[in-house]
Structure 1
Amino acid sequence: MIWQKMLYGTGALLLSTAILLAGSMEIGEAAKAESGIRYFMQAPKAKGSDTPYGNNTAAGHYAQAGDAKIYYEIYGKGKPLFVFHGGGVGTPYEMGQMIDNLRKNYQVIVVSTRGHGRSEIGHSELTYEQKANDMLAVMREVTDEPAVLLGFSDGAYTAYKVASMYPERAERIVAIGAGTLKPGFFGGEMKVADLEKIDAAFIEQQKRIMPEPERYQEFCTNYMNFWSKMEVGEDFLRTIECPVLLIAGDEDDHAPLVTMVEAEQYIPKSSLCIVPKAWHTAFLDNFDVTWTAVEQFLQTDKAKLIGSRKVEYNRK
């Protein structure tokens, strides 16, 4: 059977690749992280964080955003830093090691995107503006000052939109796996039944956490419809005024390197870190390189974050 593209983070992962990976990861076994929660396709021997991010109600809160309640958790003290996870089968827990490090020096606000985890789906049409306004609702609950936004894939695109629509809210951005994007790149369907074949334990977990599990397929269908029409280009990216660190795995097929290079050229105060031997989830595949880049960017005085020199290149 020839598998079509499915959504992982924001993008298209060949299910054939997932099945090959499943063989080495023993997907289908009830492999769970020690914290009692898992991320999609988590290998049996992979240790996640001891904190069940996204399902730790002791640290949980809700913000009303339009017709949906958005769930978020708060950890640590210091300058506010918002973490926006990937979409589709993305979860905050997937970014656990990153959050563990960040919360040592920042007040980290871990947000579950609309329709993901404990956040509600709502009934309004999913739009890019809605994504930004959902996050703004959470930000307003926590702080009045400009904040650091760290997003992965879908979460990184949301951070871009927040910074474009509400520049006073974004102090700087770390964007992992989010380059230029043309309509139709993320197409096809995302069926819950297909996801269950890859990682039944994860899907069961998500249904248990979701406020409306009976609407899971409805959300997946609407989500893919949104992303099939999504476009991120030069005109939009040039509206982002704050410093941006773009991070890309050199083997990323969701945000191919050429799209990351284009984004770096268009965002005025941006720099690009290419992580070797890493896929879309660079923070999982090569955490040390990813974290070193993030830490240096966060510790640098904002006045010095002027971005890389934009070098002309042959685009014929």
Structure 2
Amino acid sequence: MTLRFLKQNILISFFILLISMSAFGQEIKGLRYFMQGNAIASSIPYGNNVSAGHYVKSDDAKIYYEVYGKGSPIVVLHGGIVGSPSEMGQLIDSLSQKHQVISISTRGHGRSEMGNKIPSYEQKAKDVNAVLDKVNKDKVTIVGFSDGAYTGYFFAEQYPDRIEKLVAIGAGEWKKGFREFKMDYKTFSAMDELFWKQQMAIRPEPKRVDEWFSTLSNYYSNLNIDKYILGQIKCPVLVMAGEKDQNAPFETVIAAYKMIPNAQLAIIPNAPHPAFLVNFAAVWADMKPFLDQNN
């Protein structure tokens, strides 16, 4: 998620702050997502729900995840930098009615440790696989947003025998150098102080946050995602994006859709990057038939 995107979206009405909270920490109630606006929020504190939470060791880091519902397994992966499971709340609420939902806080986010490895998409895919080794040996469907969708692409390429389908929201072709990443905690925390107070309270390594921003900035600035990854994905993929997605521009989404051999496309009219927070009904209407159909 880029600084340019975040600055632009401060002006978008759905990001107006509506919720005021004073309690945060181990027993946070009403955990918010970044720049929370008037979208429907779940009553469950996803990402900090101790009754559903677990840890697994993946290489050098403990990865936190929560499990909800029963049925065929679906992994839910949130966005990056300012992403958290709470932003995926309405999706988890809906999916867990008929599925076992495995919501993962990706490396360095929420209750998951940073470790000392570069938080690459290859590593995040490996972390997802470590969680699945402990939770469910069946093939899974992945529903990922932004950073979580890119992790889904890499997981599908690296572990083709473990994935049934992928829903990738807001993740297009990524050309090295087409964005400038110079991210820092001070700038991001000023955008939503309450969100960061909550997140810093549950992070296992809050003092490493500046190191985390620096490491991610360097990784994202040198990243390239094209047909050499996307063209290797064999499972069915629903490529989805908002028509006005600033973070994954329309043309990059179309390019990714064309590179993936077995892809379907859904564009949410007049929606920005987090399309499911602005128009959940449209996102769900496109997603549900894809999830329900037989391969």
Structure ID, larger Rg? 1
SS at match of 2:46: coil
Give % identity. Answer: 45
In structure 1, the partner of 2:176 is 183
When residues 22 and 277 of structure 1 are mapped into structure 2, their CA distance, relative to the original with a 3 A threshold, is closer
Q: 1:28: Cα distance to partner?
A: 9.7
Q: 1:123: Cα distance to partner?
A: 1.1
When residues 49 and 201 of structure 1 are mapped into structure 2, their CA distance, relative to the original with a 3 A threshold, is same
Q: Which letter maps to 2:277?
A: L
Q: Which of 7, 13, 17 does residue 8 from structure 2 map onto?
A: 17
When residues 15 and 156 of structure 1 are mapped into structure 2, their CA distance, relative to the original with a 3 A threshold, is closer
**Structure 1 contact 277–286 (Cα < 8 Å) conserved:** no
Q: Which of 29, 34, 42 does residue 40 from structure 1 map onto?
A: 34
**Unaligned 5+ residue runs, structure 1?**
1-9, 303-316
Deviation string for 1:135-178 (max 9, x for gaps)? 11011111111110110011011111111011001100000011
**Structure 1 contact 148–173 (Cα < 8 Å) conserved:** yes
Do structure 1's residue 97 and structure 2's residue 80 form an aligned pair?
no
* Aligned equivalents of 1:12, 1:248: Cα separation in 2: 19
**Structure 1 contact 156–175 (Cα < 8 Å) conserved:** yes
Q: CA RMSD in A?
A: 2.1
Q: 1:30: Cα distance to partner?
A: 4.5
**Structure 2 contact 2–181 (Cα < 8 Å) conserved:** no
Do structure 1's residue 284 and structure 2's residue 273 form an aligned pair?
no
Equivalent pairs counted in the alignment come to 292
Q: Which letter maps to 1:253?
A: Q
* Aligned equivalents of 1:69, 1:254: Cα separation in 2: 29
**Structure 1 contact 276–286 (Cα < 8 Å) conserved:** no
Residue correspondence of structure 1 range 50-199 to structure 2 within 5 A: 50-199=43-192
Residue correspondence of structure 1 range 134-283 to structure 2 within 5 A: 134-283=127-276
Deviation string for 1:194-229 (max 9, x for gaps)? 122111000100100100111111111111211111
**Structure 2 contact 69–98 (Cα < 8 Å) conserved:** yes
Deviation string for 1:170-192 (max 9, x for gaps)? 10000001110011234232211
* Aligned equivalents of 2:118, 2:69: Cα separation in 1: 34
When residues 266 and 21 of structure 1 are mapped into structure 2, their CA distance, relative to the original with a 3 A threshold, is closer
**Structure 1 contact 150–156 (Cα < 8 Å) conserved:** yes
Q: Which letter maps to 1:223?
A: L
Q: Which letter maps to 1:66?
A: D
Q: Which has the higher mean CA deviation after the structures are superposed, 50-59 or 180-189?
A: 180-189
**Structure 1 contact 28–199 (Cα < 8 Å) conserved:** no
SS at match of 2:43: coil
When residues 118 and 23 of structure 1 are mapped into structure 2, their CA distance, relative to the original with a 3 A threshold, is closer
**Structure 1 contact 190–220 (Cα < 8 Å) conserved:** yes
